[in-house]
């Protein structure tokens, strides 16, 4: 069983009712830094993401409640009042679907066939940039209805990169009623560094289960290094994701931090959509 410890340090303490700055580090029970925890408000829009060292800073006010979320752990919500007096918060490990259908119990050496699913890369002028904590996923249909493992992922990102941004791989099951992303299919963070356009990233070492009814696959923006001085792009970070010119079916869904999922019914840039994110995977099967 794993636990998450949040050590919070309050600074700029002021009179009641005024905002305060909460700075802290997120660690596991062993004292190791736990990077990239999502921290969101439950009572209003907004939040932040801890950095690669588990450090975070956020301004909170009376009446605010924060939700702390990380892959492999149960979400925990803490009110402003509690945060003022509690410096250690524990999150209990949650059981993943991956653990109920373990790939380790399957002889993957017999998976000698491959199939590509998702949105195929094509030339496009539609680009999208977002904030840390914004997540975009594409529905990956399993038309074969056979169990498999994900071999690799190709994400169509623009060559117009100024640094080597990091992203977090996100994989979710499909809700059978709503069709929306539901449960995490990962139990640990998988952080990828984007160092070239349209990277093909091998994922075989992670033995990621590909369900018989498909799943959602995508990524979450993490880095906050590149600040753009424009009223249209301020606070947005790399990588720059490429979008399709036109589509027959909406397969792309997005959310910010722990907010609700929504379909991309129009282009975030031109609002002429709909458009899909260009993300494709290869899965291996018998």
Task: For residues 113-136, give the mean pLDDT.
Answer: 88
Query: What mean pLDDT comes out for the span 27-47?
Result: 85
- Given this model, what pLDDT does residue 226 score? 42
For the chain, what is the mean pLDDT?
80
Whether 1 shows a pLDDT value over 60: the answer reads no
Reading phi first (left if > 0) and then psi (alpha if -120 to 50, else beta), residue 61 is in beta
Angle made by CA atoms 114, 115, 118, in degrees to the nearest 5: 145
Using a pLDDT cut of 70, give the percent of the chain over it: 78
Q: Which of 56-70, 96-110, 210-224 has the lowest mean pLDDT?
A: 96-110
pTM: 0.85
Residue 128's Cβ-count burial label (10 Å; 0-12, 13-18, 19+) is buried
Share of the chain above pLDDT 90, in %: 31
Query: Which stretch of 16-20, 136-140, 165-169, 196-200 has the lowest confidence by average pLDDT?
Result: 16-20
pLDDT (0 to 100) of residue 58 = 86
Nearest to 133 by CA among 267, 237, 60, 29: 237
- Euclidean distance between CA atoms 57 and 60, whole angstroms: 10
- C-alpha 229/C-alpha 172 separation (Å) is 34
Mean pLDDT of the region 83-106 = 60
Determine the pLDDT at residue 13: 44
Q: Which residues contact 177 (CB under 8 A, 6 or more apart)?
A: none
Average of per-residue pLDDT across 100-127: 78
Q: Helix (H, G, I), strand (E, B), or coil: what is residue 85? A: helix
Residue 113, phi then psi, degrees to nearest 5: -110, 155
Instruction: Extract the tokens encoding 49.
Output: 């993401």
Residue that has been written with the tokens 């791989």 in this structure: 169
User: What is the band of 126 on the pLDDT scale with cuts at 50, 70, 90?
Assistant: confident
| More reliable by pLDDT, 32 or 232 | 32
Q: What is the mean pLDDT of residues 142-168?
A: 87
pLDDT tens track for 54-94: 888 888 888 999 998 888 888 888 888 887 666 556 667 77
Residue 166 class from Cβ within 10 Å (0-12 exposed, 13-18 middle, 19+ buried)? buried
């Amino acid at each position: 069983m794993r636990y998450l410890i949040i050590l919070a340090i309050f600074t700029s303490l002021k009179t009641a009712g005024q905002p305060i700055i909460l700075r802290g580090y997120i660690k596991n029970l062993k004292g190791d830094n736990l990077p990239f925890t999502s921290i969101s408000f439950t009572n209003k829009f907004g939040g932040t993401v801890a950095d690669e060292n588990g450090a975070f800073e956020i301004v909170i006010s009376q009446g605010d409640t924060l939700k702390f979320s990380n892959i492999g752990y149960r979400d925990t919500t803490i009110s402003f009042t509690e945060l003022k007096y509690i410096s250690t918060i524990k999150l209990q490990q949650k059981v993943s679907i991956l653990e109920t259908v373990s790939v380790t119990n399957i002889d993957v050496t017999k998976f000698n066939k491959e199939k590509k699913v998702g949105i195929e890369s094509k030339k496009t002028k539609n680009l999208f940039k977002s904030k840390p904590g914004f997540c975009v996923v594409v529905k990956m249909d399993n038309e074969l209805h056979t169990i498999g493992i994900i071999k690799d992922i190709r994400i169509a990102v623009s060559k117009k990169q100024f640094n080597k941004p990091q992203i977090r791989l996100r994989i979710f099951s499909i809700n059978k009623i709503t069709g929306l992303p539901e449960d995490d299919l990962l139990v640990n963070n998988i952080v990828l560094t984007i160092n070239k356009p349209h990277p093909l990233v091998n994922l075989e070492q992670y033995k990621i289960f590909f369900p018989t009814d498909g799943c959602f696959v995508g990524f979450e923006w993490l880095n906050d290094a590149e600040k753009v001085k424009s009223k249209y792009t301020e606070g947005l970070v790399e990588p720059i994701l490429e979008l399709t010119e036109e589509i027959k079916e909406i397969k792309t869904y997005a959310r910010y931090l722990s907010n609700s999922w929504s379909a991309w019914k129009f282009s975030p840039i031109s609002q002429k959509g709909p458009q899909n994110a260009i993300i494709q995977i290869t899965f291996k099967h018998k």
